[in-house]
Homo-oligomer: A and B are copies of this chain.
């Protein structure tokens, strides 16, 4: 496994694109830079549009089951659809319809494309999402698979929970357990759609799904909201897979939980005065853990460990192969 640091390019690119797009019309409530774009469509519906892609050799590899990042075609299809659904979940929305763009290397055979479609459908069906169109183009056998999902969702009466709404004093929660997803969860995670809806229903201030890793995604929220954050190391829900990796690579389980990408859990900021009630009334089997507090911007991102506060390093690891 090669745990490559995400190059600055991707994030810089989004910032750069934003500067080039000019003024968006007023019905575009959220443009580039959040989990989804949000459009105030006719009659108070709020529509979500999300685009995500899976690149062979970057996000998955099909050739060697013994090596990290291996996925069957079915898992690859599942992953890219579930990633997009996770982004809709991170706004508190409901996924509805998907179209698929595929660049398919020639000669992969029918089982390969049937696997992709079966995985896409498995993720879609699990969340009442319908694949309603797409575009398949074949290219040289030397080229690699690109699978893009375009997802249409809506808010069905709720307001979208943005990255930019966190306020000083908010309690920070995370669903599930963190770290080590490369051992399997990165292709088998369940997008937290119901959970995201519930957070929208209790008027969470800010939300994001953990694709870049807790530290990187928390930074996204802090930047967008103009705040800092303090994470309590002892409270982090460290996954079993993070513990397994600790024994293998010498990076601590805590570091895996803080920085590994592709957990696809929800990171949520909620008004302090609601925090106890949220924990008491949480209706899901999914674990919910309060891991920290939103602080003033000047504090930056910090982590407390054994009573000692220090800056939280931002690693934003992604599972690039």
What residues of chain B lie closer than 8 Å to A32, measured between beta carbons? 131-134
Q: How far is the CA of A53 from the CA of B28 in the complex (A)?
A: 24
The yes or no answer to A51 lying at the interface (CB within 8 A) is yes
What residues of chain B lie closer than 8 Å to A17, measured between beta carbons? 117, 131, 134, 136
Minimum distance in angstroms from A142 CB to a CB of chain B: 9
User: Which of A67-75, A94-102, A299-307 participates in binding chain B?
Assistant: A94-102
Known pairs A97-B37, A99-B150, A148-B101; A49 contacts B132 (CB<8 A) = yes
When C-beta atoms are compared, the residue in chain B nearest to A125 turns out to be B22
The yes or no answer to A50 lying at the interface (CB within 8 A) is yes
| B-facing residues in A18-40 (Cβ within 8 Å) | 20-21, 24-25, 28, 31-32, 36-37, 39
- Whether the pair A52, B132 counts as a contact (CB closer than 8 A) is no
- Whether the pair A42, B42 counts as a contact (CB closer than 8 A) is yes
Q: How far is the CA of A9 from the CA of B99 in the complex (A)?
A: 19
Residues of A within 8 A of B (CB): 7, 9-10, 13-14, 17, 20-21, 24-25, 28, 31-32, 36-37, 39, 41-43, 45, 47, 49-53, 55, 57-59, 97, 99-103, 113-114, 117, 121, 130-140, 143-144, 146, 148, 150, 152
* 18 further interface pairs, Cβ-Cβ under 8 Å (given A20-B114, A53-B135, A103-B103): A7-B138, A9-B138, A24-B130, A24-B132, A36-B133, A37-B97, A37-B132, A41-B41, A49-B133, A49-B152, A51-B133, A51-B148, A53-B103, A55-B103, A57-B139, A57-B140, A58-B137, A101-B101
